[in-house]
């Protein structure tokens, strides 16, 4: 069944709940991962042990990974360096140029790459416009920019609709 346009392919409570074996069975070999509120709370600059081991596990499972963030260089570089993954900052998601750059970085074809992020209107929309598998996770922290909080109201309505219609 074809999902509605803004509906992600999958939806999880957190990155830790993502069924990685299932991604492998779908042919996914590369992951483009959002930073803020997906792997690290908004305004936090410390990488938790939990996140570090999750990234370590991704690499051990054979995934090529990169971080794709709309945030600025300082935080994105600091966190990605800790996790030892390549990164793109100031990505301006949902614009797709940065997704193109990301799959080049991963050295993979679109068909084998998924985006993981916490926002429908940046991560999921960008992934859909670019044409890759999209995974939405719940945001880690409710403290966000005022414009993000406004978008969350629409996001929550959409999610309720997708869930009630059996699309998620």
The residues binding Mg ion (CB under 5 A) are 34, 36-38, 118
Q: How far is the CB of 166 from Mg ion (least distance, A)?
A: 26
CB half-sphere exposure, 6, CA atoms < 13 A: 15
Closest to Mg ion by CB, 38 vs 64, is 38
Q: What is the DSSP letter of 121?
A: I
Residues present in the chain in total: 168
Inter-residue contact 90 to 70 (CB < 8 Å): yes
Closest to Mg ion by CB, 36 vs 155, is 36
Q: How far is the CB of 148 from Mg ion (least distance, A)?
A: 8
Separation CA 59–CA 62 (nearest Å): 5
Closest to Mg ion by CB, 34 vs 155, is 34
Closest to Mg ion by CB, 38 vs 96, is 38
Q: How far is the CB of 161 from Mg ion (least distance, A)?
A: 21
Closest to Mg ion by CB, 24 vs 92, is 92
Q: How far is the CB of 34 from Mg ion (least distance, A)?
A: 4
Which residues, in sequence order, are bridge partners of residue 82? none
Separation CA 79–CA 147 (nearest Å): 24
Separation CA 168–CA 7 (nearest Å): 8
Q: How far is the CB of 82 from Mg ion (least distance, A)?
A: 18
Tell me the backbone φ, ψ of residue 45, rounded to 5 degrees.
-120, 10
């Amino acid at each position: 069944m074809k999902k509605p346009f803004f509906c992600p392919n999958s939806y999880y409570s957190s990155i830790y709940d993502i069924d990685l074996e299932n991604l492998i069975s779908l042919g996914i070999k590369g992951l483009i991962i959002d930073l803020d509120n997906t792997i690290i709370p908004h305004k936090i600059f410390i990488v938790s042990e939990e996140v570090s081991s999750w990234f370590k596990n991704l690499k051990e499972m054979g995934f090529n990974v990169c971080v794709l963030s709309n945030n600025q260089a300082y935080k994105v570089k600091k966190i990605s360096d800790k996790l030892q993954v390549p990164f793109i900052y100031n990505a301006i998601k949902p614009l797709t140029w940065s997704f193109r750059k990301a799959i080049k970085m991963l050295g993979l074809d679109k068909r084998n790459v998924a985006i993981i992020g916490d926002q429908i209107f940046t991560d999921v929309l960008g992934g859909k416009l670019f044409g890759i598998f999209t995974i939405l996770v719940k945001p880690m922290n409710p403290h966000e920019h005022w414009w993000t909080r406004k978008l969350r109201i629409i996001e929550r309505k959409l999610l309720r609709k997708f869930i009630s219609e059996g699309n998620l």
